[in-house]
Amino acid sequence: MKRRSFLKAALAFLGATTAASFVYPLFRFLVPPPRQKKVNSLVIAKRDVPLGDAKEIVFGGIPAIVVNRPGKGLIALSRVCTHLGCLVQYDQENKRLLCPCHAGVYDLEGNIVSGPPPKPLTKLPLKVEGETIVIG
């Protein structure tokens, strides 16, 4: 009888441990990741980006570029090429973004013009507030 109750107690203990070992992972699994530290919005002066020109920035760890397009206004795009992750460069003459690795070409909306990229460049949110440009 003693052995029996010992076995039962041991089983209850292991069973409870097992249950706990699944409840904790389940909890962690379902809980969303902690709120990301809000990436501070980046402020640059409007005069830093004259018409037709562009300015390279780093926003939240992502290399990006702000382009002042004649007639179409400002746009902020990630510089990370969607092909293999090289950084695209602004080609002022031809009004396009060019990836130096495999000649992926994007227009100034971030859309693919030619070359191997599978997806358009990521757009970053951008606001103009008076004389400053706020990204993020």
Chain residues that interact with other proteins, rule: CB under 8 A: 1, 3-4, 7-8, 10-11, 14-15, 17-18, 21, 25-26, 28-31, 84-87, 98, 100-103, 115
Whole-number minimum distance, CB 85 to other proteins, in Å? 4
Indicate the residue type of 60: G
- Cβ neighbors of 81 (< 8 A, separation 6 or more) are 87, 88, 99, 101, 104, 117, 121
Whole-number minimum distance, CB 91 to other proteins, in Å? 10
Q: Which is nearer to other proteins, 74 or 87 (CB)?
A: 87
Q: Which residues lie across from 63 on neighbouring strands?
A: 58
Q: Is 10 helix (H, G, I), strand (E, B) or coil?
A: helix
Q: Which is nearer to other proteins, 11 or 43 (CB)?
A: 11
Start-to-end C-alpha separation, the chain: 70
Structure tokens given for 83: 């092909």
Q: Which is nearer to other proteins, 7 or 43 (CB)?
A: 7
Whole-number minimum distance, CB 119 to other proteins, in Å? 9
Whole-number minimum distance, CB 43 to other proteins, in Å? 28
Residue for token pair 């203990």 = 13
